Amino acid sequence: MQVYLDNNATTMTDPLVVEAMMPYFSELYGNPNSLHKFGTSSHPAISTAIDQVYKALNASDADDIVFTSCATESNNWVLKSIYLDHIVNGEKNHIITTEVEHPSILATCRWLEEECDVKVTYLPVNEQGVVEAHTVKSFVTDKTALVTIMWASNETGAIFPIAEIGEVCKEKGVLFHSDAVQAVGKIPVDLQATHIDFISFSAHKFHGPKGVGGLFIRNSQALSPFFHGGEHMGGRRSGTLNVPFIVGIGKAMELATTDMDAKMTSISKKRDRLEDAILKLSDTFVVGDRVNRTPNTILISIRGVEGESMLWDLNNEQIGASTGSACASEDLEANTVMLAIGADNELAHTGIRLSLSRFTTDAEIDYTISHFEKAVKRLRTISSSYAVQQPTKGGEVQECELH
Ligand code: C6P
């Protein structure tokens, strides 16, 4: 059996999505900006995809949703254009974010600090792995141009209090962006119910194709374009529209958000069964409570078991997991999110992220439980540090309060 439990890195493209995309490669391949029928024949499909995305996110006609190549592009676009529009050509000089954002936010913020002299505040997270609205409020000043905070963590699954943070931004008159990559298609995202100016998302996180994402722009407000060179997407993003992938993101969004409650319940049941089984092993800790967590995610640490060793043992049994963000997978450092949450350095080297999808089966969970237990036992037997620690720690290592 093969078990894929790295769905926060990417998901399998749903065969129904592939089927919807296929005609737009070799049959209806015209450039949608061309005036002839080869071009215009793809217009209905693009309109359908736009409708599917607006409906899934509950966006209004006054809002703009622009298709991009991925969330990394959407995140870069927002940050760099806010800098141009509100810092270089405005009175502000400050951005607020968190310590646990995806590298496409953190690296861009660092670049803005180093190259453009922008002041950036990186808020710490609490033991649940989130930043509370009152913390955001206490750091907003009259120089703050943007608050950018993820909707849900790719590493822990922790869901941030986005509605409350939105209210703070509204009260303070500050623009609010959320990297919603791990929320869209996994948990309800209702843009009418939330005061938010921009969100980023990416199709391959919810069984759409890789290479297409989007940026939601509230009330079609001004935002300097990132790509220049044409009038595509109303001048928002130049470049020939990627019709098959736009069809794919629309279809994937529709499938992910139809009967979402039932999908969430089914995934979380499997996730909880896996989590319960792993927590029966001694000295294991899961980050964050289950209620405020995306239904598919577990970040678990296992005292005495190096994350990378565990990964390879699981890999040998055909189980794909990760130690955290795929973008940092070549970095054998401690898991920075776990350190931010308060784990000690040793524990932060033991994090394993297991992320399910709606395609994960009960049989796969059974298989994973049995091989996970075997791997932990084997690795602890050969781990000298774990053997030495046992008598002194006595299994009581709750001091890091991860669970
Ligand atoms: N996180 C992970 O293993 P792209 O690749 O551009 O479509 O998405 C980037 C991205 C942005 N924000 C968040 C919160 C994300 O989780 C990701 C992708 C993967 O966690 C790959 S690094």
Burial label for 281, CB within 10 Å (0-12, 13-18, 19+), is middle
Across the chain, mean pLDDT equals 92
The yes-or-no verdict on residue 396 having pLDDT over 60 is no
What pLDDT score was predicted for residue 326?
Answer: 67
Do 264 and 253 sit in the same domain of this protein? no
Say how many Å lie between the CA of residue 102 and the centre of ligand 1. Answer: 7
End-to-end, the C-alpha distance of the chain in Å comes to 31
Q: Mean pLDDT over residues 337-349, rounded? A: 79
Distance CA 357, CA 1 (A): 17
Q: Which residues line ligand 1 (CB under 6 A)?
A: 8-9, 70-72, 102, 104, 150, 154, 179, 181-182, 202, 213, 325-327
The yes-or-no verdict on residue 124 having pLDDT over 80 is yes
Provide CB contacts within 8 A for 149, sequence distance 6+. 96, 97, 98, 101, 123, 131, 136, 160, 162, 165, 176, 178, 179
* Residue ranges with strand state E in 133-212: 144-148, 175-179, 198-202
Q: What is the CATH number of the domain that holds 344?
A: 3.90.1150.10
Confidence (pTM): 0.93
Do 111 and 223 sit in the same domain of this protein? yes
* The ligand 1 atom nearest the CA atom of 74: 6
Instruction: Find the helix or strand (DSSP H, E) in which 316 lies.
Output: helix 307-316
Mutate which of 8, 67, 150, 154 for ligand 1? The one with the most ligand atoms within 8 Å of its CB, which is 154
Per-residue pLDDT of 44-70, as tens digits, reads: 999 999 999 999 999 999 999 999 999
Per-residue pLDDT of 230-256, as tens digits, reads: 888 888 999 999 999 999 999 999 999
Provide CB contacts within 8 A for 22, sequence distance 6+. 244
Say how many Å lie between the CA of residue 365 and the centre of ligand 1. Answer: 24
Do 222 and 290 sit in the same domain of this protein? no
What pLDDT score was predicted for residue 386?
Answer: 65
Say how many Å lie between the CA of residue 174 and the centre of ligand 1. Answer: 25
Q: What is the CATH number of the domain that holds 141?
A: 3.40.640.10
What pLDDT score was predicted for residue 384?
Answer: 63
Give the pairing type, strands 297-302 and 351-355: antiparallel
* The ligand 1 atom nearest the CA atom of 152: 14
Range of the domain at 122: 15-257
327 is catalytic: yes
What pLDDT score was predicted for residue 131?
Answer: 97
Per-residue pLDDT of 357-395, as tens digits, reads: 999 999 999 999 999 999 999 999 887 666 545 433 333
What pLDDT score was predicted for residue 304?
Answer: 87
Say how many Å lie between the CA of residue 180 and the centre of ligand 1. Answer: 10
Do 353 and 288 sit in the same domain of this protein? yes
